[in-house]
Amino acid sequence: MKSRRAPLITLAVIVLLFGALWGFNVYRDQMTASFYRHFVPPPVVVATSPVRRLLWRHALKAVGNLEAVETVTLSPELAGKVTRIFFHSGQFVRQGTRLLQLDDAEERATLEALRATAEVDRIQFQRQKELLAQNLTARSAYDLAQAAYRTARAQARSEAAVVAKMSILAPFSGFLGIRLVNLGQYLTPGTAVVSLTRLTPLDVSFRLPEQDFADLHVGQRIVLEVPAYPGHRFAGRIKALDPTVNPTTRLIHALAIVSNRAQRLRPGMFGRVRVLSRRRYRVLAIPRIALSYSLYGDTVWVVSPPKTASDPGQPDATAFPTVREVFIKPGSSRGPWVSIKAGLKPGMVVVSQGQIKLHAGARIRVNNAISLIDAHPGRTHP
């Protein structure tokens, strides 16, 4: 009998074990489903910013090129061999500084001879002058002595000018470029020696459409931004406007000037120019970092106020705000702010930091202490 009951007992135990295991799995799945059904994720910590009404100054935009007010490539006027070089590449020199000397030994010898001749003629002229005062010489002899003296003096001055041209001097103060000649080299007239550029101030050359002519005038403020110094603005003013409009491009050529006292700018750089107009206009603006860009359009996360305890399905009176994604149409930007043409209204609040962790309907906790945006942008912005 015992041998017959053993398989039955074993089978019963196995059935019970499988039943208990199946029951445990069902219970676990029900508890897990119940947990996730009632689970509320913690709120996401974000920074927010209200949609602001700002007063912006109307600006005309263009691309400009920086040009030197004074720049020249120095070259000799006469031929000769380089005997001395007084400068280094990139050196700052002042006006009148001697930069290069050509061999002028022959010219200086000629100059000394002409000066000696002029001195003899001067003495002869002075003697004839004294004799004429005593009526001891003819007037014609006096005139010949005077002409000889003046001729000798003019020849000496001419040769002195030749000697001076054997030296190259800096015509104005500025920075030298790369040296293009060597000691002992024979130079011909017009051979490039080195460039000289004045860096303070600099001109900004740019062009604007003819319809903007009414907003332009000499002395008008501009703001220049160059890729070499992102975020830095250089102030300047328009100093000249071309009196004619290009009939082919219909553009007006304008020339502005920037001080460049720190000498951070260089001729040849290009930059974005904004000409500040007297006209102002109001815009709706949000922080530029609040924008999310995608192929489907630009969006922002708009904050919805928390529901109250009286709302259906909301038992907690201390509920958190939620967010929803809204498509917007951005406009022009000024510094960290961007204008909004459509999609937002005054009084709305948008998420400015922490967007990557959000989804539609996500609860948020506002902590503006982490915000990188100035809470008081002011009424106007250039």
pLDDT, tens digit (0-9, with 9 covering 90-100), for 4-20: 666 767 777 777 777 77
Residue 114 has pLDDT above 90, yes or no: yes
Token couple for 179: 């040296």
Confidence class for position 30, pLDDT limits 50, 70, 90: confident
* Model confidence at 374: pLDDT above 60: no
CB count in 10 Å sphere of residue 93: 20
- Mean predicted confidence (pLDDT) in 349-367: 86
The answer to whether residue 129 sits within a structural domain is yes
315/328: higher pLDDT:
328
The contacts of residue 88 (CB under 8 Å, 6+ apart) are 176, 179
How open is the CA angle 180-182-184, to the nearest 5 degrees? 145
Q: Which domain holds residue 309?
A: 44-55+282-374
**Domain assignment of residue 8, yes or no:** no
Q: Answer with the one of 165, 190, 206 that is the final residue of a domain.
A: 165
Mean pLDDT for the stretch of residues 318-323: 80
Specify if 286 maps to a domain.
yes
Task: Give domain status of residue 379, yes or no.
Answer: no
Three-state SS at 194: strand
Give the whole-angstrom CA distance, residue 29 versus residue 19: 15
Rounded mean pLDDT of 104-117? 96
Binned at pLDDT 50, 70 and 90, residue 90 comes out as very high
pLDDT of 296 strictly over 90 = no
> Which CATH number is 120's domain given?
1.10.287
| 334: CATH | 2.40.420.20
Q: Are residues 48 and 113 in the same domain?
A: no
- Whether residues 49 and 126 fall in one domain: no
Is 3 a residue whose pLDDT tops 50? Answer: yes
- Tell me the C-alpha to C-alpha distance, in Å, between residue 223 and each of 35, 232, 285, 342: 60, 10, 21, 28
Among 35-44, 133-142, 228-237, 297-306, name the one with the lowest average pLDDT.
35-44
Which residues sit opposite 98 in a β-bridge?
A: 169
Residue keyed to tokens 């501009």: 222
The answer to the question of residue 249 being in a domain is no
Q: Quick one: pLDDT at residue 251?
A: 96
- Better-predicted residue by pLDDT, 292 or 376: 292
334-338's contacts with Cβ under 8 Å and 24+ in sequence apart are 334/56, 334/285, 334/381, 334/382, 335/381, 336/287, 336/288, 336/289, 336/373, 336/374, 337/52, 337/54, 337/285, 337/286, 337/287, 337/288, 337/377, 337/381, 338/285, 338/286, 338/287, 338/288, 338/291
301, 370: one domain: yes
Q: At what angle do helices 139-165 and 105-133 cross, to 10 degrees?
A: 160
Please say if the pLDDT value at position 381 is more than 80: no
Mean pLDDT of 250-260: 96
* Residue 295 belongs to a domain: yes
The mean predicted confidence, pLDDT, of the chain is 88
pLDDT bucket at 315, cuts 50 / 70 / 90: very low
Q: Could you tell me if 234 and 226 are in contact, meaning their C-beta atoms sit under 8 angstroms apart? A: yes
271: amino acid identity, one letter:
G
Give CA–CA dist 368/358, Å, rounded: 17
Confirm whether 82 is domain-assigned.
Answer: no
User: Per-residue pLDDT for 218 more than 50?
Assistant: yes
With respect to residue 291, please indicate whether it lies within any of the assigned structural domains.
yes
What pLDDT is attached to residue 18? 74
Please tell me the predicted confidence (pLDDT) of residue 269.
97
Give the pLDDT confidence score for residue 203 in this predicted structure.
98
Burial class of residue 223, CB neighbours in 10 A (0-12, 13-18, 19+)? middle
Q: Which of 165, 189, 209 is the last residue of a domain?
A: 165
How would residue 147 be classed by pLDDT, with cut points 50, 70 and 90? Answer: very high
What's the pTM?
Answer: 0.66
Residue 214 has pLDDT above 90, yes or no: no
Predicted pLDDT at 371: 63
Contact of 98 with 194, CB cutoff 8 Å: no
- Domain ends where: 165, 184, 208? 165
> Closest by alpha carbon to 142, among 160, 158, 124, 159?
124
Return the percentage of the chain with pLDDT > 70, whole number. Answer: 90
Distance (Å, whole) CA 48 – CA 350:
6
Domain count, the chain: 2
pLDDT of residue 317: 40
Binned at pLDDT 50, 70 and 90, residue 367 comes out as confident
Most confident of 58-67, 74-83, 135-144: 74-83
In angstroms, the first-to-last Cα distance of the chain is 104
Q: Across residues 273-289, what is the average pLDDT?
A: 88
Residues 51 and 132 in one domain: no
